[in-house]
Amino acid sequence: MKKTIFQLLATIALGTCLSVSSTAQSFEGMVEFTKTTGPVVTHYKYFVKGDHIRIEEIGAKGDIQGVMLVDTRDGTVKALSPERKLFMDVPNLRLPKDVNVKVTKTEETQILLGYQCEKWNVHNAQEDRDIEYWVANDEFDFFIPLLETLNRKDKQAVYFLEIPDAMGVFPMLGTETKSDGTVVTKLEVINVERDENKTAIFEIPPNYNKFERN
């Protein structure tokens, strides 16, 4: 069954390792990752250029199922349906969630995708959740503003925003578990490419029409 634009809007989401970078320039390029929730695996790509992020949800056949265009400077989000050639403004009506978490930045490291990653743990006893992030630093300055603009309710995003001094890092691997060890969600980066993105991919195509609710 094909998804409606509203289902695409609900499912597009998100998904940080320390490395010595050879450049101080903010990241521009593509980050590709998967999100696993139970038996369901969803594939996403972030395309980044300055304050602009394009989020693509990729189908099993490699086709683009849905797109979100995020402008972190203006704080705006637009959802696009490639199948129906429609776009819509996404209002941000959800109040930020207050959470009580304990953050532990460990000295444990491992190499992921060529990055020397450091393990950060976030624990929330009230919600019975632990999230283990393996974070990388390649001047991923877009990520914190992206999470703030999307203002999503999933714990991987909400908890990450509670980590102090996390600007510039990105979670190459994030695993959310309950106290009994049950895995709830897993975010895993499978490819990172620094490259110059064309401005056009962050713009609404001229042949798209705006979706209006009746």
- Tens digits of per-residue pLDDT, 47-94? 999 999 999 999 988 999 999 999 999 999 999 999 999 999 998 877
Structural domains of the chain, with CATH: 5-15+17-196 (2.50.20.10)
Q: How far apart are CA 175 and CA 55, in angstroms?
A: 21
- Tens digits of per-residue pLDDT, 128-172? 999 999 999 999 999 999 999 999 889 999 999 999 999 999 999
Q: In the structure encoding, which two tokens stand for residue 95, read together?
A: 């109040």
Measured at the CA of 52, the angle between CA 47 and CA 55, to 5 degrees, comes to 40
Measured at the CA of 173, the angle between CA 151 and CA 37, to 5 degrees, comes to 65
